Amino acid sequence: MKTLFSLLFALFVVTATAQHPPANGSAFSAERLARLDTVLQQYVDENRLAGAVALVLRDGQPVYERAVGWSDKEAGRKMATDTIFRIASQTKAITSVAVLSLVEEGKIGIGDPVSRFIPAFATTTVAVRKDGGGPGSPGNPGNIDIVPAKRPITIRDLLTHSAGISYGTERDVASLYEAKGLGPAAGMGWYTADKNEPICDTMARLATLPFVAQPGEAWGYGYNTDILGCVVERASGTPLDEFIRTRITGPLGMKDTQFYLPANQRERLAAVYASGRDGKIVRAPDGPKGQGNYVDGPRRSFAGGAGLLSTARDYARFLEMIRNGGALGGVRILAPRTVQLMTTNQVGALHSTTGLGYGLGFETTDRYGANGMDPQGAFGWAGAYSTTYRVDPDARLVLVFMVQMLPNATDTRTKFPTMVYQALVDPK
């Protein structure tokens, strides 16, 4: 009788758990999560992806962590969960936190003109097409007038990418930028790791070039956060790498997040690949337009917009701090109200008219369905080497996907979050 009772009780527990799964891992269907394993391995087997690291946190705890394929296929090095990746524009969120921490100290004002910290920005200009077309649009490229900016560029403009500043690759201005070692001359526009000069010198030179829209009139992606990196240096009196290490990554325990990799850790850095014409991977060449100068090189340019290296675990820890309102593990980096500014749309319809917005550092999802299965209130961004991330405060999730593909013809950026969400059977 006692044995029968034990069996019936065990059956009750299993049934109740299946119907009402507790938080963290059991909120996900193991069977459905296995679909993600299958999809990622398929990309590797078909030679469309060298390798990847995927990580999902719920309530700060890993519910899915996988390393598939190769970090360096030619060298025979398998991908590992602690492999280091070039995170490119995922650097922007970290630099934005650096800026806002100084705003909280009263050293920077969100409405301050950039020229307060970089005098060269006191008089900026804008390239206007004579045929009325937008920068780089079809028509009569290069036929431009250079006019004064209508107002000074502010810190808020840079944080929201509404300063009118691009990467200078539009054909109307590309030759002007290339002559100053920027735009096309910088490898992929945003790349500065090979420059033998401090980032503030590069940004002062940028200020002499025409931008592509008037401040506050358009959302445009470009050197905005690199300029903010210089602002951090000027406002704090500390090099950007040191500021980020002592104020953000160090306190959060992000030991593998840095601008340049020590030579003795070279083999931890994933190789960069590109999608060939047939969709199969091709190893990228050495140098600025491929592997980059993240181990060998001048190591002088700390690019706040695109320069950091990190791991999936490190970056997920940073995002968990944001999801948790600016604090993690007893360490507070930002106040909760400041985090709300970062994760709430601050530009109206400038960034998108389809339900996406942009806060002081993150793209926001303002309507369910505007960004895959993201709910309203989710936020995230990506990096040029095809890394991507999402934070879903409602479901208490952090999603990080790391690969090194440039260019990337696969659909992994959108497929990864979709495969995670289809496995989430207990969203609340």
Element (H, E) at 413: helix 412-421
Closest CA relative to residue 17, chosen from 36, 3, 30, 34: 30
For the four alpha carbons of 379, 382, 386 and 391, in that order, the dihedral sign comes to negative
**Does residue 234 contact residue 107 with C-beta atoms inside 8 Å?**
no
**Among 71, 89, 96, 386, the one annotated catalytic:** 89
Kindly state the helix (H) or strand (E) to which residue 175 belongs, with its residue range. helix 174-179
**Greatest Cα-to-Cα distance within the chain, rounded to the nearest angstrom:** 92
The separation between CA 259 and the C-alpha centre of its own chain, rounded to angstroms, equals 14
- Cα separation, 314 vs 258, whole angstroms: 11
Amino acid letter, 89: S
Active site residue 386: no
Q: Do residues 118 and 204 touch, judged by C-beta distance below 8 A?
A: yes
Under DSSP, is residue 312 helix (H, G, I), strand (E, B) or coil? helix
Instruction: Indicate the Cα dihedral angle 35, 41, 44, 45, nearest 10°.
Output: -110
Q: Give me the active site residues, please.
A: 89
